[in-house]
Chain A
Amino acid sequence: MSTGFLRFLGVLLILGSIGFATVKGTFTGGFRYLTPGFGQVSHVPAADRR
């Protein structure tokens, strides 16, 4: 494999991993362990929730 291809692969991995963590981390909202009930599945049916 050429150096250029490996570098390209590296950039994709950086974009994928750091980008995923920061973008998803931003749009998930809240923080695990800091927000009560964060990440828990509600037992109340969606239609009954206000």
Chain B
Amino acid sequence: MSQPLTAAERNAATRRGLGATGAAVILYLLPLPLLGKAFYELILRGRFTGFVVSLALFALFMLGAELARRGIARTWDFNSRKVALAGGLPLKSAGAGVIGLATFLTAFLAADQSLPASIAIAFGSLLGFFLTYGLDPRGAKGVAADAGVSPEEVQAALTEARGRIGAIEEAGKRIAGGTAYELRQKIRDVVAAAGKVLQLIEDDPRDLRRARKFLNVYLDSAKTVTENYASTSAKAHSPEMEAKFRAVLDDLKTTCEEQYAKLLENDTLDLDAQIEVLKVRLTKEGLS
């Protein structure tokens, strides 16, 4: 699962996290009787070993439930993205394995079942797990073989761009002064416009080649400008600097919207020239 970088992604990740907890809730609830057994063993029977074994079985179930919860969230993240790469440890399968083992040990040691019966019960839990939650996603999706770019390339470019947008949002929060609210609103507009461009690239990864300059040069300049202004405004307020920053934000938004329109029209030559002009202007005005 790629790290949530922008505010919108963080919100979506939180919603997915809550949803995954809801989906995995029975895996957390079903082992609870083992906690009761642990205290029964310790307080009523005075058997420390029984107490420790009950707690260990409970902990094993919790580990499995946690792995499953993370795996479910990762699957939802993979399914919600148009371009995604599934990598790393298959968390759902690992969770299923741990829960299967915990079920076997509990059935065999605590519920006094025979070895074949315990194995059958453990297989029942594994089958139930995979029927309910499915398998881990594997491979890549969203990039056609003739797109001219690899899924790894698209994923890396989008992650980097989201990181820059996230940094712009964070810098916006640090802006101080009486007009901070208005400037933050302008930054939100820029972020929303840039987000639309990223969405377009995600929808059609062939656009990545045409938008490389926008993602690398332009977003990086926008991030530097916002960060520089945020740190300057925190130290001293300058109306002149603020006016320049305001104008630059308007330009940034317009360029984002133009990039979006140009990508739709598959025409990037003019825009690359405009980005160069904007970069020179930022440097000249001392904002970059």
Contacts and interface: CB of A to CB of B under 8 A. Distances in A.
Interface of A: 6-7, 9-26, 28-35, 38-39
B209 interface: no
Nearest to B120: A17
Contact of A25 (B27, B49, B111): B111
A18 B30 CA distance: 7
Contacts of B121: 17, 20-21
Interface string B81-99: 0000000000000000001
Interface in B245-278: none
Contact of B128 (A17, A28, A35): A17
B10 interface: no
A38 B111 CA distance: 11
Contact of B106 (A13, A22, A30): A22
B31 A24 contact: no
Sorted from nearest, which 4 A-B pairs have the closest CB atoms?
A13-B128, A10-B131, A25-B110, A10-B132
Interface in B222-246: none
A25 B107 contact: yes
Contacts of A19: 30
Contacts of B22: none
B33 to A, nearest CB: 4
Q: Chain B interface secondary structure, helix, strand, loop or mixed? A: helix
Interface string B17-41: 0000000001100111110110010
B132 A11 contact: yes
B112 A20 contact: no
29 contacts: A10-B129, A10-B130, A11-B132, A12-B128, A13-B124, A13-B127, A14-B30, A15-B30, A16-B124, A17-B128, A18-B30, A18-B31, A18-B61, A18-B99, A20-B107, A20-B121, A22-B30, A22-B33, A22-B34, A22-B61, A24-B111, A24-B113, A25-B107, A26-B36, A26-B37, A29-B45, A34-B47, A34-B50, A34-B53
A21 B106 contact: yes
A14 B27 contact: yes
B125 interface: yes
Contacts of A28: 110-112
Interface in B106-142: 106-113, 121-122, 124-125, 127-133
Contacts of A6: 131
B103 interface: yes
B21 to A, nearest CB: 16
B50 A35 contact: yes
